[in-house]
């Protein structure tokens, strides 16, 4: 999988998000953070995630969306249930995915991480197609950037976040990214 100098994956569908900014000067990408997301919670397949990250979500369209009014979030990538890859923010930029976070004593994980959302929910098994797309993407990112760790949102925001959740098969995923 090709990654441009700006951190764009040409094979991914591009849906630009305004919810990003410049990384701190000379900050290297050393961390990949895996998340899950579904909107409304537990429902898959709509365009609500893309709309949330593009700031075009109709917050009156579903009762849950009222909680999201005014929120400005994004991720670098989304891996959909069928394996489709969507990119919202070039990897050279800082996406707003981790919030208050800390990894190995370093605060503000958005500064040095790439955020990958996986369409899902904590207790819902992920699809084989998602694992396949995710593994190819992560291997490419690790070849392009000096990534040292791949972790869950729960690892950098313990007690505050639980994703990608107990349904995420870490042993399977680790085997897949070590192949190649």
Provide the annotated active-site residues. Answer: 117
- CA distance linking residue 36 with residue 116, whole number of Å: 8
Q: Give me the long-range contacts of 103-112 (CB less than 8 A, separation at least 24).
A: 103/31, 103/149, 103/151, 103/155, 103/156, 104/149, 109/31, 109/33, 109/156, 111/23, 111/24, 111/27, 112/23, 112/27, 112/28, 112/29, 112/30, 112/31
- CA distance linking residue 59 with residue 69, whole number of Å: 6
């Amino acid at each position: 999988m090709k990654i441009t100098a700006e951190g764009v994956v040409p094979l991914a569908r591009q849906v630009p998000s305004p919810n990003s900014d410049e990384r701190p000067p000379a900050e290297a990408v050393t961390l990949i953070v895996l998340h899950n997301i579904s909107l409304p919670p537990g429902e898959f397949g709509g365009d609500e995630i893309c709309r949330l990250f593009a700031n075009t979500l109709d917050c009156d369209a579903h009762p849950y969306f009222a909680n999201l009014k005014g929120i400005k979030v994004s991720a670098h990538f989304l891996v959909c249930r069928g394996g489709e890859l969507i990119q919202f923010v070039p990897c050279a930029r800082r996406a707003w995915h981790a919030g208050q976070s800390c990894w190995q004593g370093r605060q503000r994980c958005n500064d040095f991480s790439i955020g990958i959302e996986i369409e899902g929910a904590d207790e819902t098994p992920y699809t084989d197609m998602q694992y396949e797309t995710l593994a190819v993407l992560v291997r490419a990112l690790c070849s392009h950037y000096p990534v040292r760790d791949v972790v869950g949102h729960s690892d950098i925001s313990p007690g505050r976040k639980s994703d990608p959740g107990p349904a995420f098969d870490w042993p399977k995923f680790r085997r897949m990214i070590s192949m190649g």
